[in-house]
Amino acid sequence: MPTISFSHKDFQKLLGRKMPIEEFSELLLLYAKAELKPGNTPDDLTVELDDTNQPYIWSVEGLARLLRGITSKKEAAPLRLQAGNYSIEVDESVKNVRPCIAAFVAKGVKLDDYLLKQLIQMQEKFDTGYGRRRQKVSIGLYSYKRISFPIRYTAVKPDSVKFIPLGFEKELNLKQILEQHPKGQEYGWILKNSQDYPLLLDSNGQILSFPPIINSNFTGRLEVGDSELLFEATGHDDESLNLAASIFAQNLQDRGFAIHSVIIKHKSKTTKTPSVERKLVKITPQAVEAVTGLKLKSSEISSLLQKMGYQARGETAIIPTYRADIMHPVDVIEDVAIAYGFDRISEEPLRSYTVGKKDRAFELINPTRKLIAGLGFQEIFSHILTDKKSVTEKSVELQNFMSETHSAVRNSLLPQLLDVFAKNKHSDYPQKIFEEGLVASREATKLAEWRSIALASAHSKADFTEMKQYLSALLGSIGLQLEVKPAEHTMFIKGRVGSILVNKQHLGFIGEVKPEILEKHGIEMPVAAAELNLSLLP
């Protein structure tokens, strides 16, 4: 979830009125799916945003615009583009690397330290979140005064071009940048399948940047005092790039910048970014009622939509250019409900009566657990993930585990019960414990999951007979007859281990645990144990 920081004063300036922290916090919860975190100073606010699909509110400008809409009656001003003679020529060579680009020029407000930091924060949140760590969208910001248009977007051989990357003092070629520059090391993976690397140059042949990695140390630097800037975003689909350009342009316009569009010249087509084309969605009162249960007139819906930044004409909602999260009319209807206020929506009880029912397995599991507890056993409840060293080769292992202790799915409950004995040597004996739970195993490529139940007893006289007594009593109580046939098992002493049979079906093993295993666990008492597959019980 994205987290952003900004000044409370700045927020109020953008909002156009005072708003105490308490009210702001409440409105964030109700309208922005966001939560106010405690900041460092009274003026320094930190907000966590819940919605990973709405980058237009991942900035103080976006939040202020949203809450301005909610608390005023005025329709929000859409993006107004100024014409300008700015263009980017896109070379065919980028087609297989990073084919798309969007850009605009913003002029008219002097950047101070705070505003510069806000721009960089916005860029970072967009790049890492919506931009999927720059793979989908990568944004560059430049000081306009150092660039001469038209700009050229092209792709070159990694070792054919040299420039000084941001923060460095010497020239590196593109290959060296990936190896030596921290950003190269961080984002180089994006280009791992590319022969040629993307490059932005101005009309003087000056290098602007090496997208999506790093800007040049000279032209690719935005500084305090600049009042004109160039925005560009590169990626793989025009829609995401246009969204990025729209959000940034709208935010800068809200701060008083004039936005100039940039013409993107491909060999086959020419477009203008950011696009101001707005999509339309039909929203009927019936559709709103079906989803929200609210009986609203068309005019009421229109005014609620306006609060959320839409323009509404009759039953048609015009989606703001900075929003790309609207996939279906239901997304617009949610905004109607949010604008109406979830706190004002009254509840309605459910109408149908349905019959509750547990999973059938528990009709056996729960009585069995109670019977075993009745035999004096303490129940254990363990994790299903375990150390791959404690399971046999037929177990299911994880490919990406964080710690060895959680690196495989258990295929038996006994190792965990032995672990309990090992950890409780100073607790009073006899120790009788059991667990019921899911286990899984793998036979070549075939997976199996079942419910297992295991009992273990540790004390100075724990033996096979005791365990057989318990097991017969248990099975007898659920109407089954226990039969034990000699068997072999890696965990149990030879000659003191048997296969548990019910109606001739093998269900598991019963036996005395091998002393070498007890020694390995550091257990100083004999242990008798049994484990059986509950899913196989008739």
Partner 1 sequence: MPDDAKVAEIADSLHRYERAVLPLLEKHSSVSDLVKASGLQEIEVLRGLNWLQNKGLAKITEVTEELINLGGNGRKYASSQLPETRFLDAIKEQPLSLSEIKRKTSLTDEETSASIGALMRLRAIESAIVQEGKGFKATEAGKKLAAEGTPAQRLLSRKFPIPEKNLTPDEKAVVEELRKRKDVIRQDVVKNKSATITDLGRQIARKSISAEKIIDRLTPEMLLTGSWKKAKLRPYDLSTAAPRAFFGKLQPYREFLEEVRDKFVGLGFEEMTGPIIESEFWNMDALFMPQFHSARDIHDVYYIKEPKHATDLPKELVKKVKAAHENGFGTGSKGWQYEFSEEKTARLIMRSQTTACSARKMASKDLKIPGKYFAIGRCFRYDVIDAKHLADFNQVEGIIIEESLNLRHLIGLLKLFAKEFCQTDKVKVVPSYFPFTEPSASLYAKHPALGWMELAGAGIFRPEMVKPLIGRHVPVLAWGIGIDRIAMFKLGMDDIRNLFSHDLNFLRNAKVV
Query: Binding to partner 1 (CB under 8 A): which residues in 339-358?
Result: 342-343, 345-358
Instruction: Work out whether 432 is an interface residue with partner 1 (CB under 8 A).
Output: yes
DSSP alpha helix (H) spans, 449-510: 464-477
Report if residue 393 touches partner 1, rule: CB under 8 A: no
Backbone phi and psi for residue 281, each to the nearest 5 degrees, phi listed first: -135, 135
Q: Is 385 in the site for partner 1 (CB under 8 A)?
A: yes
* Residues present in the chain in total: 538
Strands 100-107, 137-143: parallel, antiparallel or unpaired by DSSP? Answer: unpaired
Sign of the alpha-carbon dihedral angle for 246, 259, 277, 234: negative
Torsion angles phi and psi, residue 404, rounded to 5: -55, -30
- Binds partner 1 (CB under 8 A): choice among 48, 91, 124, 331: 331
User: Taking CB under 8 A as the rule, does residue 402 contact partner 1?
Assistant: yes
What gap in Å lies between CA 440 and CA 453, rounded to an integer?
13
Span interacting with partner 1, options 178-186, 195-203, 225-233, 336-344, rule CB under 8 A: 336-344
Please say which residue, 118 or 457, places its beta carbon nearer to partner 1.
457
State the DSSP string of 132-164: TTTTSEEEEEEEGGG--SSEEEEEE-TTS-EE-
Closer residue to partner 1, CB minimum distance, 248 or 470: 470
Q: Which of residues 48-77 bind partner 1 (CB under 8 A)?
A: 50-54
Specify the pairing of strand 34-37 against strand 44-49.
antiparallel
Q: Which of residues 78-97 bind partner 1 (CB under 8 A)?
A: none
**CB nearer to partner 1: pick between 165 and 415:** 415
Supply the minimum distance, in Å, between the C-beta of residue 383 and partner 1: 4
Q: Is residue 252 within 8 Å of residue 292, measured between CB atoms? A: no
> Shortest Cβ distance from residue 400 to partner 1 (Å)?
5
Classify residue 130 by its DSSP letter: I
- Site for partner 1, residues 470 to 509, rule: CB under 8 A: none
CB of 86 or CB of 377, closer to partner 1? 377
Residues 104-163 that bind partner 1 (CB under 8 A): 129, 132, 136
CB of 377 to partner 1, least distance (A): 5
Element (H, E) at 443: strand 431-443
SS3 441: strand
Count of residues engaged in binding partner 1, rule: CB under 8 A: 93
- The piece of 17-25, 192-200, 261-269, 283-291 that touches partner 1 (CB under 8 A) is 283-291
Q: Is 35 exposed, middle or buried (0-12, 13-18, 19+ CB in 10 A)?
A: middle
- Are 377 and 434 spatial neighbours (Cβ–Cβ below 8 Å)? yes
Q: Which of residues 219-258 bind partner 1 (CB under 8 A)?
A: 237, 239
| Nearer CB in complex with partner 1: 76/417 | 417
